[in-house]
Amino acid sequence: MADIIQLLPDHVANQIAAGEVVQRPASVVKELLENAIDAKATSVTLVIKDAGKTLVQVTDNGIGMSVTDARLSFERHATSKIKSAEDLFNLHTKGFRGEALASIAAIAHVELKTKTEDSEIGTHLTIEGSKVISQDPAVVPKGTTISVKNLFYNIPARRNFLKSNPVETRHIIDEFHRVALAHPNVAFQMLHNGSDVFNLPSSNSRQRIVNIFGSKTNEKLVPVSEETEILKIEGFVLKPEFGKKSRGEQFFFVNDRFIKSSYLHHAVASAFEGLMKNDIHPGYFLFLEVDPHSIDINIHPTKTEIKFDDEHSIYAMLRATIKHSLGQFNIAPVLDFERDKGFDTPYDYSKKQPTAPSIEVDRDFNPFKEKPKQGNINFPFKREQPASWESLYVGLKDESSAVSNLGDIEFESEEVTGSLFDTSEAETGQTTFQLQNKYIVSPLKNGMMIIHQNLAHQRILYEELLKNITVKEAVSQQLLFPLQLHFSKPDLEIIEKIREQLEHTGFIFSELKDETIEISGIPVLILESHVVNLLNQLVHDIKEEVPDTGFSQNDMLAKSMAASMAIKTGVSLNKEEREHLINQLFACKEPTVSPTNKPVFTALDVSDLDKKFM
In the complex, minimum distance from the CB of residue 78 to ligand ADP, in angstroms, rounded to a whole number? 6
SS3 category, 18: helix
Q: Which among Mg ion, ligand ADP, none contacts residue 426 (Cβ within 5 to 8 A by kind)?
A: none
Q: Binding string to ligand ADP for residues 125 to 154, with x set by CB under 6 A, is what?
A: -------------------x----------
Cβ atoms within 10 Å, residue 80: 16
Provide the residue type at 273 as one letter: E
* Residue 65, phi then psi, degrees to nearest 5: -130, 150
- 79, interface contact from Mg ion, ligand ADP, none, CB < 5-8 Å by kind: ligand ADP
A 10 A CB-CB count for 356 gives: 15
Least Å distance between CB 132 and Mg ion? 19
Which of 35, 250, 255, 468 binds Mg ion (CB under 5 A)? It is 35
CB nearer to ligand ADP: give 144 or 505: 144
Q: Report the alpha-carbon distance of residue 250 to residue 243 in Å, rounded.
A: 10
Sign of the Cα torsion 297, 298, 302, 308 reads negative
**Binds ligand ADP by CB under 6 A, chosen from 52, 95, 443, 547:** 95
- Using a 10 angstrom Cβ sphere, with 0-12 exposed, 13-18 middle and 19 or more buried, the burial of residue 541 is buried
Q: In whole angstroms, what is the distance from residue 62 CA to residue 578 CA?
A: 66
**Angle in degrees, 0-180, between the axes of helices 489-497 and 531-544, rounded to the nearest 10:** 90
3-state secondary structure 496-525: HHCHHHHHHHCCEEEEEECCEEEEEEEECC
Distance CA 242, CA 219 (A): 10
Instruction: State yes or no: residue 122 binds ligand ADP (CB under 6 A).
Output: no
CB nearer to ligand ADP: pick between 57 and 584: 57
For residue 374, the 8-state DSSP code is S
Q: Which of 15, 96, 214, 451 binds ligand ADP (CB under 6 A)?
A: 96
Residues 76-95 that bind Mg ion (CB under 5 A): 95
Give min distance, CB of 394 to Mg ion, in A.
57
362 Cβ neighbours under 8 A, 6+ residues apart: 393, 396, 397
62 binds, among Mg ion, ligand ADP, none (CB under 5 to 8 A by kind): ligand ADP
Residue 39 interaction partner, one of ligand ADP, Mg ion, none, beta carbon < 5-8 Å per kind: ligand ADP
- Give dist(CA 205, CA 235) in Å, integer: 8
- Judged by CB under 6 A, the chain residues 17 through 56 that form the site for ligand ADP are 31, 35-36, 38-39
Q: How far is the CB of 293 from Mg ion (least distance, A)?
A: 22
Q: What number of other Cβ atoms are within 10 A of residue 318's Cβ? A: 26
Nearer to Mg ion, 98 or 380 (CB): 98
The interface partner of residue 25, options being ligand ADP, Mg ion, none and the CB cut-off 5 to 8 Å by kind, is none
Query: Min. distance of Cβ 120 from ligand ADP in angstroms?
Result: 18
From the list ligand ADP, Mg ion, none, which binds 98 (C-beta under 5 to 8 Å, kind-based)? ligand ADP
DSSP 39: T
Q: Which of 11, 71, 81, 438 binds ligand ADP (CB under 6 A)?
A: 81
Among 25, 52, 98, 122, indicate the residue that binds ligand ADP (CB under 6 A): 98
Residue least distant from Mg ion (Cβ): 95
Cβ pair 444, 420 in contact under 8 A: yes
Q: Does residue 488 interact with ligand ADP by CB under 6 A?
A: no
Which of 46, 65, 314, 326 lies at the binding interface for ligand ADP (CB under 6 A)? 65
For residue 480, with 0-12 CB atoms within 10 Å meaning exposed, 13-18 middle and 19 or more buried, which class applies? exposed
547 binds ligand ADP, rule: CB under 6 A: no
Beta carbons within 8 Å of 32's beta carbon, 6+ residues apart: 46, 56, 58, 146, 148
Instruction: State the first-to-last Cα distance of the chain, in angstroms, to the nearest integer.
Output: 66
- CB nearer Mg ion, residue 36 or residue 200: 36
Q: Which does 26 bind (CB under 5 to 8 A by kind): ligand ADP, Mg ion, none?
A: none
Q: Edge-to-edge, what's the strand order for the sheet holding 187-192? A: 131-138, 122-128, 109-115, 143-149, 55-60, 43-49, 187-192, 195-200
Q: Is 123 in the site for ligand ADP (CB under 6 A)?
A: no
60: contact with ligand ADP by CB under 6 A: yes
Report the partner that residue 254 touches, choosing among Mg ion, ligand ADP, none (CB closer than 5 to 8 A by kind). none
579 binds ligand ADP (CB under 6 A): no
184 interacts with Mg ion by CB under 5 A:
no
Nearer to Mg ion by C-beta: 74 or 421? Answer: 74
Smallest separation (angstroms) from ligand ADP to the CB of 13: 14
DSSP structure string for 289-315: E--GGGEE--S-TT----EETTHHHHH
Q: In terms of CB distance, is 60 or 541 closer to ligand ADP?
A: 60
Q: Is 249 in the site for ligand ADP (CB under 6 A)?
A: no
Angle 558-561-566 from CA coordinates, rounded to 5° = 115
Interacting partner of 63 out of ligand ADP, Mg ion, none (Cβ under 5 to 8 A depending on kind)? ligand ADP
Rounded distance between C-alpha atoms, residue 233 and residue 162, angstroms: 37
Which residues bind to ligand ADP, rule: CB under 6 A?
A: 31, 35-36, 38-39, 60, 62-65, 73, 78-81, 95-102, 144
Binding residues for Mg ion, rule: CB under 5 A, are: 35, 95, 100
